Amino acid sequence: MRSLIDILDFSVEELDELIGVANDIIANPEAYSEKCKGKKLATLFFEPSTRTRLSFEAAMLELGGSVLGFSEANSSSAAKGESVADTAKTISCYADIIAMRHPKEGAPLVASQNASIPVINAGDGGHNHPTQTLADLLTIQREKGGFNNLTVGFCGDLKFGRTVHSLITALSRYEGINVVLISPDELKLPSYVKKDILAKNNIPYKQTTDLESVMPELDILYMTRVQRERFFNEEDYLRLKDSYILEPRKLKNAKPDLCIMHPLPRVNEISVAVDDDPRACYFKQVLNGKYIRMALILKLLEEAKR
Ligand code: NCD
């Protein structure tokens, strides 16, 4: 059974195909409005979410399917001690496809090993978030025309930011990618991502604490929220939370075609004054997230038939 747990589960060709379908849906939404008639998506969210869960649900509804699920761990039998494996087996009796978010790294993988329907990782702890990466890739493709020869700056919480880990992994398969890692020392990219992804694929990268000094080089600036829920103590969070605040004046030396991204939610990292800058792409990411999830649901349900 084909699932999406890690972005590398899909080949570059398959990602191109998904992006192609998403672009076709954007151009021609009516053609897709009944494609999933009679099919059910279960959203199993053991952690808070606005965009990811609702974009999955909107995606399935726009495909003519229906949705069921829960949005809090304590409203499910997890609160009674049920295992992820048993939950996955149970939901397989009710739905055709699962989107799961869980605070434990690897939980969606365990679900996929026990479900008899496709499982989509909608974020597992501080590890991965492959469907945000799909939304990011569709946005980059639409804004930049492709993925080669881009200098991409990641700024903020690179340690716990799962969207960062998954997007870096995805970009490591393209040509001419340069990565600039901008974070406080305490929130640097984990060494396993540096070693297993960046170094292994010979992706040039540098680390800095200073956003403004690298701004002129960037084609893409990917801002992130400091992930409060992954901190061990509140003092560290309070000290680090406002490390970077993107304001219009800091964009003075940025490229005129810089693409400013953020998976959202934002707290303070991007001042609302930046929203009016034509280079701000984060609300486009939100919309693209729905279309690419429509393409993903179609692909996995199609493969499940085989
Ligand atoms: C991200 C996540 O959940 O990792 N949000 C999202 O899905 N768009 C980013 C975040 O919470 O900071």
Note the pLDDT tens digit of each residue in 37-86.
999 999 999 999 999 999 999 999 999 999 999 999 988 888 899 999 99
Dump pLDDT digits (tens) for 196-224.
Answer: 999 999 999 999 999 999 999 999 999 99
Q: Output the CA–CA distances (angstroms, integers) from residue 157 to 141, 178, 199, 233, 280, in the order listed.
A: 24, 19, 20, 15, 20
Residue closest by Cα to atom 3 of ligand 1:
123
Contact 85, 110 (CB under 8 A): yes
Edge-to-edge strands, sheet with 205-208: 205-208, 178-182, 151-155, 220-223, 259-261
User: Looking at residue 244, what is its pLDDT?
Assistant: 97
Residue 51 catalytic? yes
Cα separation of 206 and 204, whole Å? 7
The answer to whether the peptide bond before residue 184 is cis (omega within 30 degrees of 0) is no
The whole model's pTM is what? 0.97
Dump pLDDT digits (tens) for 244-272.
Answer: 999 999 999 999 999 999 999 999 999 99
Is there an atom of ligand 1 within 6 Å of 241 CB?
no
Helix (H, G, I), strand (E, B) or coil at 100: strand
**Residue 227 carries which DSSP code?**
-
- 306 C-alpha to center of ligand 1: Å? 33
Ordered alpha helix ranges (H), 84-161: 84-91, 107-114, 130-144
Is there an atom of ligand 1 within 6 Å of 133 CB?
no
Q: Do domains 7-128+287-305 and 130-285 have the same CATH topology?
A: yes
Is there an atom of ligand 1 within 6 Å of 108 CB?
no
CATH of domain 130-285: 3.40.50.1370
Q: Which amino acid appears at position 271 of this protein?
A: S
Phi then psi dihedrals of residue 119, to 5 deg: -120, 135
- 284 C-alpha to center of ligand 1: Å? 15
Indicate the domain borders of the chain: 7-128+287-305, 130-285
Residue closest by Cα to atom 12 of ligand 1:
225
Residues 211, 124, 203: CA angle, nearest 5 degrees: 45
- 135 C-alpha to center of ligand 1: Å? 12
Is there an atom of ligand 1 within 6 Å of 123 CB?
yes
Q: Which fold has domain 7-128+287-305?
A: Rossmann fold (3.40.50)
